[in-house]
Amino acid sequence: MSDVFRTNPRRDPSVARDLRDPKGRPLLLSGGVVITGHPLTGDWQEADVLIGGSVIAGVGPGLLTAAGDDHALVIDCAGTLVLPAAADFTAPGTGATLAPGEAAEIAVLRLADAPGTPGGAVPGRGTHLDVLVTGGRVRLWDGRPLDAAGHATAAPPEDLPDHDPAHPLLGLWIDDNGFVRQELLPDGRYDEARGDRPSAYQGRYWINGNRIDYLDDLGFWAFGEFRDGALHHAGYRFTRR
């Protein structure tokens, strides 16, 4: 596998200051995996996107060689996926594209977690949306909006539903065959046994109305719904015992 999938882009604070007040300089998104959404232009494993004003001026490999001549502001996009901010993959040919002359509405997504991202099952791990360009201007930088001083503002904390230790839906839930037994504990954790495997899955849960969200200790998220006195989750129907 190419190193592009393991690389984190370099985010120099001085570039962020220049982006806040670009003074008419062109913008170059350099070295990312570029998905244009345009049948003629095609896609690239590693390419550049040149933005002049509010439109895309060029796309493809080799544009970085003229960045100095053009006094362009260069954003390192190695280790990212560059694609139209309003891409519609369900209806090919109808969504926005990254073709010369098109509006510069571009999303840059990291392919690896940002440095310092916590591992494991942690709510609010942050976004892989790294840079967002609208109207030819950078609005999001290093996953955060730019403030009036040209620095990235802190990301807001992730809002999670409050846990109610006396919620009426707590307790032991068992599927119709008795194979899966899921206990919703008062401390906000669940313990799920499967067949002869006790504690096959364990983690945290939140109940919000008729919905329950799970964050397993292995790291994955899942959900269920309470309907007509039963818990429906992952293809199973549970009743409380």
The verdict on 117 and 231 lying in the same domain is: no
- Domain with residue 10: its CATH number is 2.30.40.10
What's the CATH code of the domain at 221? 2.40.128.290
Same domain, 132 and 185: no
Tell which of 129, 145, 161 closes a domain: 145
**Residue finishing a domain among 145, 179, 202:** 145
Q: Is residue 199 part of a domain?
A: yes
Determine the structural domain holding residue 91 and report its residue range: 3-145
DSSP 9: P
Q: Are residues 175 and 221 in the same domain?
A: yes
* Same domain membership, residue 188 and residue 91: no
* pTM (two decimals): 0.77
Q: Tell me the per-residue pLDDT of 57-80, one tens digit each, with 9 for 90 and over.
A: 999 999 999 999 989 999 999 999
**Predicted pLDDT of residue 95:** 78
Write out the E strands in 11-70: 27-34, 44-52, 55-60
Domain boundary among 110, 128, 145: 145
Number of domain units in the chain: 2
Give residue 159's pLDDT.
Answer: 63
Residue ranges of the chain with pLDDT lower than 50? Answer: 1-4, 148-150
In a domain, 219, yes or no: yes
